Amino acid sequence: MNYDRTVRLDRDFATAVADVREALSAQGFGILTEIDVTATLKAKLDHDMEPYLILGACNPPLARRALDADRTIGLLLPCNVVVRQDGDHTLVQALDPQTMVALTGLEDLKPVADEAAARLDAALATLA
């Protein structure tokens, strides 16, 4: 199973991050968490790596529907979106919401995953 939705952008990392935030917001997602993996690995392990940011995106109505279907689904929330430098490009990768259905086997989550996927795809499409 392919578990990501990815777009490759011809723009610098900082611009891509700003564009991703705007695209997600336009689709009803807020950013609940932000993990600067590059800074964390440097601070904790003195390890250098390319710019790598994990954004925890949440669409509250969709999150509520998912939690109503299965309280344990919080283990798979929020929708993680990675922005990372890849050579001269920046990659934006979102976890495929269908992963929730595949992992849990709960058909009640399918409509939620379908809508989340449509919204994430729309956000990613505006970036390309």
Asked if 84 and 90 count as a contact pair (C-beta separation under 8 A), the reply is yes
pLDDT of 24 higher than 70: yes
How many CA within 13 A on the CB side of residue 59?
23
Q: How confident is the model at residue 88 (pLDDT cuts 50, 70, 90)?
A: very high
pLDDT of 106 higher than 90: yes
Look up residue 32 and give its two tokens.
Answer: 């609940």
Q: How confident is the model at residue 128 (pLDDT cuts 50, 70, 90)?
A: confident
pLDDT of 76 higher than 80: yes
Q: Look up the CATH number of the domain holding residue 59.
A: 3.30.310.70
What is the reported pLDDT for 83? 98
Number of Cβ within 10 Å of residue 109's Cβ equals: 23
**In whole angstroms, what is the distance from residue 20 CA to residue 26 CA?**
10
Residue 67 Rama label (left phi>0; alpha psi -120 to 50; beta) = alpha
Domain count, the chain: 1
> Domain range spanning residue 45?
4-127
39-47 contact pairs (CB < 8 A, 24+): none
Q: How confident is the model at residue 35 (pLDDT cuts 50, 70, 90)?
A: very high
Read off the pLDDT of each residue in 78-102 and give the average, rounded to a whole number.
96
How many CA within 13 A on the CB side of residue 3?
11
**In whole angstroms, what is the distance from residue 101 CA to residue 111 CA?**
10
pLDDT of 115 higher than 70: yes
pLDDT of 2 higher than 90: no
pLDDT of 1 higher than 70: no
